[in-house]
Amino acid sequence: MPSFDVVSEVDRQEVRNAVDQAQREIATRFDFKNTDSSIEHNDLVLTLRTVSEDRLTALRLVVEEKLVKRGVSLRGLDYGKIEEATQNTVRQVVTIQVGISSEKAREINKLIKEKGAKGVSSQTQGDSVRVTGKKRDDLQGVIATLKGAEIGIPLQFENFRD
């Protein structure tokens, strides 16, 4: 039976490259001079630090711009609240979400049951969803439906097999 997996992954190397590019831009831009702005990158957690909230907004825009250019979806970004830090600075923690939570998997399964073709079924397997069907065309219809749906996380489709 034809099948495929729905996953939510991020290319960690692309994230690292985007953060490096953003740091280089911040070091050279005039509006960031003497603001002590920085981006700490720790696997899938970014910590943005700067002197004020408006500079933090500009810093966030630079990071988002570089992530988009590198092909990383902004849907997977989870922004923490803006906190006061030492020496009159502010910081914000940005977490990049990977994997499909059980709540989102239920939402995907429900959507497939409602809008999928008759012979299509889905089941949750860890942090991915396996979709099987009798016809390849039905599965391609499910992919189109999921791409058009507003689920709130970036989705990729892997292991399409006949």
pLDDT digits (tens, 9 = 90+) for 44-78: 899 999 998 888 999 999 999 999 999 988 988 99
Q: Is 103 helix (H, G, I), strand (E, B) or coil?
A: helix
As a whole number, mean pLDDT of residues 68-90 equals 89
Q: Do domains 3-8+100-161 and 12-96 have the same CATH topology?
A: yes
Contact predicate 128/72, CB 8 Å: no
Strands (E), the chain: 3-7, 38-42, 45-50, 77-79, 83-85, 89-96, 121-125, 128-132, 156-161
Assigned CATH topology for domain 3-8+100-161: Alpha-Beta Plaits (3.30.70)
Q: Which two tokens stand for residue 40?
A: 């700490």
CATH topology of domain 12-96: Alpha-Beta Plaits (3.30.70)
The full set of domain ranges for the chain reads 3-8+100-161, 12-96
